[in-house]
Amino acid sequence: MNINEKRLRHLLYRYATNSISRKDFDELTSYIHQADSDPVLFEIMEAFWNDLDSSKADTSAKDKVYRRIVSDSRFRDSHHVVLKPVKKQSRYIKWYAAAAVIVIAISAGLYFYRSLSVNSPESNVARTQTRPKPSRQHAGQATLTLADGTNLVLDQSQNGTVAIQGNSSVSQVNGQLVYINSGMRSSAENLKNTVTTPRGAYYQLILPDGTKVWLNTASSLTYPVAFNDAERRVELRGEAYFEVAKAPLNPPKGGKSGNTNSLSFGEAWMPFIVATANQEVEVLGTHFNVNAYADDPFAKTTLLEGSVRVSNHKQQVIITPGEQAIVTGAKPEISVRKVDTEEAMAWKNGYFVFNNEDIRTVMKTISRWYNIRIEYQGDMSGKTFGGTISRYADLDKLLKAIELTGAIHFRVEDEAENNGKASLERRVIVMP
């Protein structure tokens, strides 16, 4: 292949600065497809990626370019799998672990690494992205449990009214559940509905007050059909992202025009409370994520916008954008730390982020989404993994990519191999 190094570096720069045209992007793509067979081309790309390390204008250049890469929908349909190189590995591994993730890793939609720096606590509001339809391994639909216990399957491809609860009409519009109140007072605030997502599925809904909720896989949210005049309280199991609508108190507490609540500024607003097993999260109107799976030892609340109060049976803290509050079981202390909000919101944007986490934690997260059963053989102590993974990568390709790190191996057993019993689950054996 005849390579014009100056031209290639120009195209890479244009992509890195988000100023590339459609024509130039197509030209760059043609280079990408040659990278795994042309060492000269690979070295040019690798050199460009390494040059980002010396960027004096922006010390987080690599992170920002990388984040753009993993969210670039133009690469979503490619099936390449590329890893970032690890020193002291063979040239073969290094080749397929191309450091030129500026283009190669992204063409995978699947990028793994051993030590990517994710230290910038930027508080970017999560983006909503178009997601591909789930594959067979992601089969399963959310369900709505009505106040009388009736369970309804929520088919996201259908629109229209699904139920009447009190004076509220419950409809599905463009794949999300919407509550429309008649405005008449009734006992509807005593009626509760629950939306539940199975493993491998997610769902969006708009609550009666206009609050938007994105419910992650293997999660449930219980809420009143109509909120009362004092507070808006919901119960969460699992993980959800909330964009809370502000709602004025009617009348304000104590008959005053203001509210002494430390989260309020001036006008009296009705608090919105998310209750989980070991904590309560109280807000007025803000964007935040709550991760509180029952089989995890902790609950994490990450704030993107506004202000949030997190409390347990002993303590309460107020966090600001870019901070995360962690409640660990029945421990009295609530810890607060600065975080990369994009990392916390990765699931909503269509990918996972693992920051050198224990392999058991990694596989637990993967198992929820892919609806697989995990078993371990051998010693897993000290086995960690870091990387960003598209939630729509094929499971087999994903596991093979992790194996390229050399630390972990897998054996997958399909339904027919699982003790001769038919099952919707696949079993993945994890071995050192």
Cβ contact 180:169 at 8 Å? yes
- pLDDT of 244 reads 95
| 3-state secondary structure (DSSP) of residue 121 | coil
Residues of the chain by 3-state class (helix, strand, coil), percent to 5: 25, 30, 45
Cβ contact 123:289 at 8 Å? no
| 3-state secondary structure (DSSP) of residue 117 | coil
Cis peptide, bond prior to residue 251, ω within 30 of zero: yes
Q: Express each pLDDT in 7-31 by its tens digit.
A: 888 887 777 666 777 788 778 777 7
Confidence of residue 46 (pLDDT cuts 50, 70, 90): low
Sign, CA torsion 335/341/343/349:
positive
Cβ contact 193:173 at 8 Å? no
- pLDDT of 313 reads 85
CA distance 226 to 229: 10
CA distance 178 to 303: 25
Q: Express each pLDDT in 261-295 by its tens digit.
A: 445 444 578 999 999 999 999 998 899 999 999 99
* Res. 79: pLDDT tops 80: no
* Res. 230: pLDDT tops 70: yes
Q: Express each pLDDT in 98-134 by its tens digit.
A: 333 333 333 333 333 322 223 232 322 222 233 333 3
The residues with which 221 forms a beta bridge, in sequence order, are: 195, 236
Shortest CA distance to 149 belongs to which of 194, 180, 207, 186? 194
Among 7-16, 146-155, 321-330, 406-415, which is the least confidently predicted range?
Answer: 7-16
CA 74 to chain centre: 20
Cβ contact 218:196 at 8 Å? no
Confidence of residue 176 (pLDDT cuts 50, 70, 90): very high
- Residue 393, Cβ density class (10 Å: 0-12 exposed, 13-18 middle, ≥19 buried): buried
Confidence of residue 50 (pLDDT cuts 50, 70, 90): low
Domains of the chain: 5-113 (no CATH), 136-344 (2.60.120.1440), 351-431 (3.55.50.30)
Quickly tell me which residue has 């709550």 as its tokens: 290
Among 192-201, 237-246, 272-281, 408-417, which is the least confidently predicted range?
Answer: 408-417
Task: Give me the percent of the chain exceeding a pLDDT of 90.
Answer: 39
Q: What is the DSSP letter of 109?
A: T
Cβ contact 281:301 at 8 Å? yes
Q: Please state the length of the chain.
A: 432
CA 47 to chain centre: 31
* Res. 92: pLDDT tops 70: no
Q: Give the pLDDT mean for 172-185.
A: 81
- pLDDT of 66 reads 52
- pLDDT of 324 reads 97
